[in-house]
Amino acid sequence: MQQSQALHTALIERIDAPAMLEQVQVWSAINTGTANLSGLATQADALAEAFAALPGEIELVDPAPVTAIDANGREYEKPHGRHLVLRVRPQANRRILLTGHMDTVFPADHTFQNQQWLDEETLNGPGVADMKGGIAVMLHALVAAEESGALGTLGYDVMINSDEETGSLASATLIAELAQGKLAALTYEPAALPDGTLAHARGGTGNYSITFTGKSAHAGRNPHEGRNAIVAAADLILRLKSMEREDLTINPAKLEGGAANNVVPDHAVLRFNIRPKSTEAMEGFDNDLADVLAAIEREHEVGVHRHGGVTRPPKPVDARAQALFDLVKACGEELGQPIRWQSSGGVCDGNNIAACGVPVVDTMGVRGGAIHSPQEFLIVPSLAERAALSALVITRIANGEFH
């Protein structure tokens, strides 16, 4: 018990809460909407400078190519910012992965750009919880653990990507590469609830764009010669909703296309999202969609082009993942932080990591709330609280308490 208490004290004394808050406020002042490449570059440089406090090599990794479909059905390349990777003791036999993201959902022209104090302990600002506060938690936990000398030979990789908020398409391959061979992973999304509750099992998500190419004709003179792309898209919408089941929801979100009222429309783009709760639902939908699109193409005599798919597979919690949750809970109890968890319909990079067979707890970041809105807030004392929690979890892993 005395040795354990000495470790707690050694870790907590090394956590500089004022410095954490200052970093969060500086980082929050940098707009890092996923499409703001200049802001992301500024943030990446600031993070590289901050993470230089840790041993290891820092690299800014170019994003993987990503394409999207415009309103005319044309495929185009979508640019993204670079991702930060830090590798510490890469030759170690036992290694873990820590991940976060530097992007926010607030573009450069969004009205929500500034911070304000809601009370003495609550800071409102873009990204303060999701997840610039989480990045500060990760950094200071690692610094405290390194300075305490408790990590021994444990190695780790840190990855902070630039595109998590739009599905991590430009970083998915990088995440998978870094996850290989890892003992465990911690991701620094904010807690699921302001009381610190963790997200447990997660569903998956996928985004699709379907382009329909029909044939235009005069709506009065020769409508029978036309092939109505809007009607074909509407038929697909109804069929998609009929494919829903207990473990799968489908949201047709946007229909683009059409022409003048007296013209049979020859073009449409339908965008929709799916939320599978199981791998079986995900795979079953993907197979069924191919048959449905073939039927639409045949029955409406239109061209159909599919773009997109599942970006984050469902994240069940198996025995090894549960053991990691149990370790986090035990560390929380030692620090006087009650740890609970609940399933979540939201998704994050934890889904991608779990799909690689690596146990992950993906809400190790700050306590806060109202993320993705101008009401986003950070509960400031949670910066030091959660840094202490992470530092203790990491040192316990280093000591062989998770294997």
For residue 190, CA distances in Å to 45, 204, 237, 328, 401 come to 23, 18, 34, 15, 25
Q: Rounded distance, CA 122 to CA 366, Å?
A: 12
Task: Centre a 10 Å sphere on the Cβ of residue 119 and count the other Cβ atoms it contains.
Answer: 10
- From 20, 15, 27, select the one nearest 101 (Cα to Cα): 27
Chain centroid to CA 309 = 16
User: Per DSSP, what are the bridge partners of residue 310?
Assistant: 206
The sheet that has 83-88: what strands, in order across it? 57-61, 83-88, 155-161, 95-101, 185-187, 360-361
With a CB cutoff of 8 Å and minimum separation 6, the contacts of 66 are: 77, 78, 80, 163, 169, 170
Phi first, then psi: give them for residue 267, nearest 5 degrees.
-150, 140
Continuous segment of H or E residues that includes residue 395: helix 382-398
With a CB cutoff of 8 Å and minimum separation 6, the contacts of 210 are: 233, 236, 269, 270, 271, 272, 293, 304, 305, 306, 307
Torsion, Cα of 375, 380, 381, 387 (10° steps) = 100
Q: Tokens 């408790």 belong to which residue?
A: 150
Q: Rounded distance, CA 170 to CA 124, Å?
A: 29
Q: Rounded distance, CA 248 to CA 169, Å?
A: 22
Q: Please, what CATH class does the domain formed by 2-201+315-398 belong to?
A: alpha beta
Q: Three-state SS for 20?
A: helix
With a CB cutoff of 8 Å and minimum separation 6, the contacts of 54 are: 86, 88, 139, 142, 143, 146, 158
DSSP 289-343: HHHHHHHHHHHHT-EEEEEEEEEE--B---HHHHHHHHHHHHHHHHTT----EEE
Q: Tokens 């050694």 belong to which residue?
A: 10
CB 91 within 8 A of CB 198: no
Q: What is the pLDDT of residue 354?
A: 98
- From 82, 296, 288, select the one nearest 171 (Cα to Cα): 82
Q: What is the pLDDT of residue 256?
A: 98
pLDDT block averages, 10 residues each, the chain of length 403: 72 94 98 98 98 98 98 96 98 98 98 98 98 98 96 97 98 98 98 97 98 98 98 98 97 96 98 97 96 98 97 97 98 96 97 98 98 98 98 97 92
Q: Rounded distance, CA 233 to CA 306, Å?
A: 12
Q: Rounded distance, CA 81 to CA 63, Å?
A: 6
Give the start-to-end residue ranges of the domains of the chain. 2-201+315-398, 205-312
Q: Three-state SS for 151?
A: coil
Q: What is the pLDDT of residue 3?
A: 64
- From 105, 113, 198, 104, select the one nearest 160 (Cα to Cα): 104
Same fold? 2-201+315-398, 205-312:
no
Q: What is the pLDDT of residue 259?
A: 86
Q: Rounded distance, CA 190 to CA 204, Å?
A: 18
**For 10, what's the count of Cα atoms within 13 Å in the CB-facing half-sphere?**
17
Q: Which two tokens stand for residue 60?
A: 């800014």
**For 370, what's the count of Cα atoms within 13 Å in the CB-facing half-sphere?**
13
CATH topology of domain 205-312: Alpha-Beta Plaits (3.30.70)
